[in-house]
Amino acid sequence: MPRLVQAVSTKPKRVAGDFSAALAQRLAKIGVHRRMDLVLHLPLRYEDETTLTPIDAAPLGVPVLIEAQVLRVELAYRPKRQLVVHALSGDTPIALRFFNFYPSQRAQFERALTQGELVRAFGEVRRGWFGAEMPHPRCRIVARGTPLSKALTPVYPTTAGLGQGTLSTLIHRALDALTLHETLPTSMLARYQLMSFEHAVRALHLPKPTDDVQALGQRTHPAWQRIKFDELVAQQVSMRLHYLARRERLAPVLSRDGATMRQFLAKLPFQLTPAQQRCLEEILVDLNAPHPMQRLLQGDVGSGKTIVAAIAALAAVDAGAQAAVMAPTEILGEQHHRKFSEWLAPLGVRIAWLHGGLGRKEKRAVLASIAQGETQIAIGTHALFQEDVVFQRLALAVVDEQHRFGVQQRLALRRKATAEGIVPHQLMMSATPIPRTLSMSYYADLDVSVIDALPPGRSPVRTRLVANARRDEVLVRVREACAAGQQVYWVCPLIEESETLDLQTAIDADAELRACLPDVHVGLLHGRMPAVEKAAVMDAFKRGVLQLLVATTVIEVGVDVPNASLMVIEHAERFGLAQLHQLRGRVGRGQIQSDCILLYAAPLSEGARARLKAIYELSDGFALAREDLRIRGPGEYLGERQSGAPMLRFADLTLDEDLVPVAREAADQLLQDDLPAAHAHVERWLGARSDFAKA
């Protein structure tokens, strides 16, 4: 692999230099900063204005082009203010309705009326109470005999004040001004049977009358395949350059066989699973290298990621350095602090817990202990990367539930290393399994370890779907579980009553359950409670003082109570699939058969029905992750990851799954064979976003 070089420094012509400030500002809103951005501003869809359609022959739900003579123009006020143009197409009357219009449009139609001109309107013909109508069509006044379009009309993504005509003109000028050279080698194009880049973009901006409208619209046309391939290759190259840039930095070399680690492993009361051992070995090999580890450890709920992270932290302790463990919530952070203390404090490891609930004096003491190096492992929430936190020698940063933190937040923690030129190792963890396609694409700059098996003794959780009408039966089941000495979670989606959603809140549910179950000890937990109160409630539940815990999703991660064998999720139809799976993972942690009851309110939307069907049928987190990606798409799935990774505009990971490994292979080849071409390819596609140093 050639040594990493600087990104291509040649700056493409900026759009702002060619146009007025106002136009450049509008173009910037749609991501256009350079002429090449105009070339890559590809159509959303295509409209067929090559033929006129008689109104009586217009299919329902399909936009068509009609031609009609304006008869009269009026302003109507029912059901709301609108401009109505009454026209005649052949012998058939039609009303063109504009609900948002400018005075100039009204004047234009009134002039056409006096001059007897025609209007061509493109839109859906609907059958209204008073005959045919076309709501808010795109239209223009034409002289008789004006020829029709000879090709499909592209429709571009745009913004207010930037019309399709202006955008189309700018794009055509850019196409004429730029030399659309290849950034990929000819052999690669031949190998993957791809058309040339210039041919592809011209085919999409300037489609021919004979082109397949369906293939263009559904993005299966060969031109779209080339564009998607190029975009995926650019993403892969960019992410791998992030990776290579990091490997050129220096990191502390941590022993994989220190005295404290050996002592801990010798006294471990259980045996690590083969999957845990494999992932731990991968991590320890990285920590023993002189460049910073950037590894994602992922595994299903309860797969045992925390113990692996704890052993990795001991590598820093044995090196006389420090480790930081950052969690997104105080409940998860407190859980980590409790487990790390239980496991490592008997070995003399000094652990601190930094969170927002500390008093001023306590916080000063913790900060001083971290700064002086007395604290060997610091566990905390977002408080860990605040300015007043200074580490003496930070060697390892562990970020749990990494998708809940932005890139800048993870960078802020990494910058806590004080040694000049030294970057700490970083281990990111996720209990939300990431589908393989997503991992290969958006996490291509990371090494990934997967704990793909649960520890022995975990009993599978039975999932039940119950309509809210059968709520009384669920209460009986809760009473029986508590009477048998077991514990129960009751999860609600909101804390206070919503004005728009008729949802049972945690506060109301708490009052209802106390009234219905007077013999049961009930506790309430939600995110707005003070940290001290939350800790007290959780402690009471763990000790068995509370039998039933009414909670919001603050218990989604990090709560481990083996005696809890029943979970009821109120309004389950309102939760995301990953969230339902995370919540369900809070039970089934002991030897007792556990159940998760999903209470839902009918009728269900199509999306809610799909989610509940998936969570009922699937228990494997990775299978659920693939289904979740199909339902939601990658945008939501990634959390804040996208702020540091180039998002895809044209390739769809659910529809173009087969292209991802091919693009990955091509990116590796390009980086190995022609590094300048790799940079040029990324510059074309990402421009100012191609910042290889961040990560």
> Domain with 596 in it: what CATH number?
3.40.50.300
Same domain, 339 and 307: yes
Instruction: List Cα–Cα distances, 332 to 59, 67, 377, 379, 553, in angstroms.
Output: 56, 65, 16, 10, 12
Same domain, 374 and 341: yes
Residue 655 domain-assigned? no
Indicate the average pLDDT of the chain. Answer: 85
Residue 680 domain-assigned? no
Same domain, 297 and 438: yes
Which carries the bigger pLDDT value, residue 636 or residue 6? Answer: 636
Percent pLDDT > 70 in the chain is 89
Compute, in degrees rounded to 10, the torsion defined by CA atoms 228, 230, 235, 238: -170
Tokens standing for 112?
């056409």
Whether 245 shows a pLDDT value over 90: the answer reads: no
Q: Determine the Cα–Cα distance for residues 383 and 228; give it in Å rounded to an integer.
A: 41
Which carries the bigger pLDDT value, residue 115 or residue 124? Answer: 124
Same domain, 330 and 471: no
User: Taking each helix axis from N to C terminus, what angle separates 606-617 and 577-584, rounded to the nearest 10 degrees?
Assistant: 30
Whether 9 shows a pLDDT value over 50: the answer reads: no
* 686: Cβ contacts below 8 Å, ≥ 6 apart: 234, 238, 646
Residue 153 domain-assigned? no
- In three-state secondary structure terms, 452 is coil
What pLDDT band is residue 693 in, cutting at 50, 70 and 90? very low
Q: Determine the Cα–Cα distance for residues 92 and 97; give it in Å rounded to an integer.
A: 16
Same domain, 19 and 100: no
* 193: Cβ contacts below 8 Å, ≥ 6 apart: none
Q: How many residues does the chain have?
A: 695
Residue 540 domain-assigned? yes
Q: What is the pTM of this model?
A: 0.76
Q: Provide the number of structural domains found in the chain.
A: 4
Same domain, 412 and 549: no
Same domain, 469 and 608: yes
Decide: 81 and 73 in contact? Cβ < 8 Å: no
Residue 262: HSE in the Cβ half-sphere, 13 Å Cα cutoff: 5
Name beta bridge partners: 162.
Answer: none
Same domain, 174 and 39: yes
Q: Determine the Cα–Cα distance for residues 99 and 169; give it in Å rounded to an integer.
A: 27
Decide: 458 and 430 in contact? Cβ < 8 Å: no
CB-based contacts of 686-689 (< 8 A; 24+ apart in sequence): 686/234, 686/238, 686/646, 687/12, 687/33, 687/34, 687/36, 687/37, 688/33, 689/646
pLDDT digits (tens, 9 = 90+) for 364-375: 999 999 999 999
For the chain, the first-to-last Cα distance in angstroms comes to 21
> Domain with 77 in it: what CATH number?
2.40.50.140
pLDDT digits (tens, 9 = 90+) for 51-103: 899 999 999 888 999 999 999 899 888 778 888 999 999 889 999 999 888 78
Residue 624 domain-assigned? no
What pLDDT band is residue 640 in, cutting at 50, 70 and 90? very low
The amino acid present at 5, given as its one-letter code, is V
Residue 200 domain-assigned? yes
Query: 451, 478, 503: which is the final residue of a domain?
Result: 451
The pLDDT, as a whole number, for residue 407 is 57
Residue 123 domain-assigned? yes
Per DSSP, 400 falls in state T
The pLDDT, as a whole number, for residue 10 is 40
Whether 688 shows a pLDDT value over 60: the answer reads: no
Same domain, 403 and 480: no
Pairing of strands 425-430, 394-399: parallel
The pLDDT, as a whole number, for residue 507 is 86
Find the domain containing 323 and state its range.
Answer: 259-451
Q: Estimate to the nearest angstrom the gap between the alpha carbon of 636 and the chain centroid.
A: 3
Same domain, 274 and 393: yes
pLDDT digits (tens, 9 = 90+) for 141-200: 888 889 988 888 899 999 888 888 899 999 999 999 999 999 999 999 999 999 999 999
What pLDDT band is residue 382 in, cutting at 50, 70 and 90? confident
The pLDDT, as a whole number, for residue 174 is 95
What's the rounded mean pLDDT across residues 494-514? 70
pLDDT digits (tens, 9 = 90+) for 539-552: 899 899 999 999 88
Same domain, 182 and 223: yes
Name beta bridge partners: 67.
Answer: 120
Pairing of strands 131-135, 351-354: unpaired
Q: Determine the Cα–Cα distance for residues 324 and 390; give it in Å rounded to an integer.
A: 11
Which carries the bigger pLDDT value, residue 556 or residue 590? Answer: 590
Whether 378 shows a pLDDT value over 50: the answer reads: yes
The amino acid present at 311, given as its one-letter code, is I
151 conformational bin, left if phi > 0, alpha if psi -120 to 50, beta if neither: beta
Q: Got the DSSP string for 401-428?
A: TGGGS-HHHHHHHHTT--STTB--EEEE
- Say which residue the tokens 């839109």 belong to: 123
Q: Estimate to the nearest angstrom the gap between the alpha carbon of 219 and the chain centroid.
A: 22
Percent pLDDT > 90 in the chain is 49
Query: 428, 451, 474: which is the final residue of a domain?
Result: 451
- In three-state secondary structure terms, 367 is helix
Helix (H) or strand (E) holding 329: none
Residue 690 domain-assigned? no
Q: Determine the Cα–Cα distance for residues 45 and 152; give it in Å rounded to an integer.
A: 10
Same domain, 373 and 284: yes
Q: Determine the Cα–Cα distance for residues 424 and 292; give it in Å rounded to an integer.
A: 6
What pLDDT band is residue 682 in, cutting at 50, 70 and 90? very high
Strands (E), 486-634: 487-491, 522-525, 548-551, 564-569, 594-600
Query: 618, 646, 669: which is the final residue of a domain?
Result: 618
Q: Determine the Cα–Cα distance for residues 462 and 220; give it in Å rounded to an integer.
A: 41
Whether 554 shows a pLDDT value over 80: the answer reads: no
